[in-house]
């Protein structure tokens, strides 16, 4: 599902215009990103929790040239699904 399909689905279920749903979705993504930048977890009951995780520095080897490169540490977003979502997926 892409952005347009998500917006259309939400608009159909809520009877809101697609433009309003678009603004709401943009505000939602911006708010979640802001909270994650501030190193806060963002959780949704019945869905799951987004959190920032640190990936350590690691060694990478190019498969063709065998050149070794160090990949610097970075922050990534992790997601842990809730038990309710897990049960819905595995009915």
Residue ranges of domains in the chain: 1-40, 42-91
pLDDT, position 44: 94
- Could you report the per-residue pLDDT of 14-27, keeping only the tens digit for each? 999 999 999 999 99
Structure tokens at 91: 């009915």
pLDDT at 91 over 90: no
- 48-55 and 42-44 beta bridge pairing: antiparallel
Higher pLDDT, 51 or 90: 51
36-54 mean pLDDT: 95
- Could you report the per-residue pLDDT of 53-89, keeping only the tens digit for each? 999 999 999 999 999 999 999 999 999 999 999 999 9
DSSP-assigned letters across all residues of the chain:
--HHHHHHHHHHHHT--HHHHHHHHHHHHHHHHHHHHTT--EEETTTEEEEEEEEPPEEEE-TTT--EEEEPPEEEEEEEE-HHHHHHHT-
pTM: 0.76
State the CATH class of domain 42-91: few secondary structures
């Amino acid at each position: 599902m892409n952005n347009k399909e998500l917006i259309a689905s939400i608009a159909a279920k809520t009877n809101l215009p697609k433009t309003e749903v678009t603004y709401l979705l943009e505000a939602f993504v911006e708010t979640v990103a802001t909270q994650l930048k501030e190193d806060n977890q963002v959780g949704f009951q019945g869905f799951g929790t987004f959190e920032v995780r640190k990936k350590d520095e690691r060694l990478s080897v190019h498969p063709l040239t065998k050149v070794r490169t160090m990949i610097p540490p970075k922050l990534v977003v992790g997601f842990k699904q809730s038990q309710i979502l897990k049960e819905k997926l595995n009915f």
